[in-house]
Amino acid sequence: MPTFTATILEPFIQSLFVAAGVPEDSARTVAHSLVDANLCGHDSHGVMRAPQYIGFLKDGKYLANPPLTVLHETPAVLATDGGWGLGQVQAFRLLDKLMAKAKLLGIAAGSIRNCGHIGRLGEYAEAAAAQNLAFFATVNSHGAGRRVAPPGGTEGRISTNPICLGAPTTTDPVVLDFGTSAVAEGKVRVHHQKQIPTPEGWLVDHAGLPTTNPGVLYTEPRGSILPFGGPQAYKGFGLGLMLDLLAGGLSGGRCSNPGDPMAGIGNAVVFVLFDPAAFGGVDHFLGQTDALTGYVRSCPTASSGPGIVLPGDPERSAKAQRLADGIDIPDGTWDLLTKTAAELGVGALA
């Protein structure tokens, strides 16, 4: 596998989007988001997505520079249409507007329908936490991507529907960001590209039997991803179901729907931000988050067990390591990137 530093990889990815007709500032936003996902250890949301997004641009499924159109606005609410623009661009546009509203009113909620894939939700929680704002987010696959079967079922009915919660502290924020399926679909795609089996407990085949073959998600008859917690994970599936309902229903987009293609192209998005200044006060909030995170970290550990890990720690640890050692790009992903570069007339990295 080739290895690149982020400072080399990010301008290359940006150049691909510019060559595909994306304005430079938007291309920079997407490239930074994708490379940052790789740095944080989430390769499923990293540069492997660039050929996919560019393919959508080429096919007209994504537009290079649509506005974020306001559908409805109140002092605390903003409902928008992304016009099938690049998801990271539209999501940050929404987040910027909501942060201003939350600072003014104490709370703000917003949504996007018809939005490209917005990437790693934790990135938006980190940006909100940098402004001392607490954060909630969810997305679904805008009616498509029905990869997760209900307990006892053999066909996918909902998408992987992540939930993200972020809380600032005086140091590193606590950022909980996970799909309500056993694994993100993108991580299965990584195994599929590498042509390696998935871990047990991720997938079932079309008959509902456990399998480690990632290809079951991409060929007929299709298998599905288990909800988190295993085949009888009623809590995991129930949470994913509720998030699907909220993302599709509140955004004006779509919930998982049998009439939509299986291969999703984007998200229906819901963000909610809270300014502690309007509640118990920023100093109180940060004092309490510092105290609790410190108390949890002080917990005694079993002699043979790992240290205490809080949400957000794995991403920071991965970023420190990959900033130092570089980002490994799987051969299958690199082949797609070099092919995309050649088609766009962009010189490939050596």
pLDDT at 332: 86
How far is 51 from 48, CA to CA, in rounded Å?
Answer: 7
Q: Which residues is 148 bridged to in the sheet?
A: 158, 225
For the chain, report the end-to-end CA distance as a whole number of angstroms: 13
Which pLDDT tens digit goes with each residue over 110-165? 999 999 999 999 999 999 999 999 999 999 999 998 999 898 888 899 999 999 99
What letters, b where the CB count within 10 A reaches 16 and e where it falls short, cover 149-171?
Answer: bbbeebebbbbbbbbbbbbbbee
Residue keyed to tokens 């998935």: 198
For the chain, residues with pLDDT lower than 50 are none
Comparing CA positions, the residue from 68, 88, 89 lying closest to residue 79 is 68
pLDDT at 231: 66
Tokens found for residue 80: 């928008």
DSSP state for residue 60 in the 8-state scheme: T
Asked whether the beta carbons of 107 and 277 are under 8 A apart, the reply is no
Asked whether the beta carbons of 135 and 129 are under 8 A apart, the reply is yes
Comparing CA positions, the residue from 79, 86, 71 lying closest to residue 101 is 79
The pTM for the full model equals 0.94
Amino acid at 43: D
For the chain, domains (ranges, CATH) are: 61-283+312-334 (3.30.1370.60)
Which pLDDT tens digit goes with each residue over 49-65? 999 999 999 999 999 99
The runs of H, that is alpha helices, within 231-330 are: 234-251, 282-297, 313-325
Other Cβ atoms less than 10 A from the Cβ of 186: the count is 21
Strand, coil or helix: 79:
strand
Phi and psi for 169 in degrees, rounded to 5? -130, -175
pLDDT at 230: 67
Question: Where does the chain show beta strands of DSSP type E?
Answer: 3-4, 69-73, 77-81, 107-116, 134-140, 162-167, 174-179, 203-204, 210-211, 224-225, 266-274, 327-328
pLDDT at 190: 81
Comparing CA positions, the residue from 345, 245, 350 lying closest to residue 15 is 345
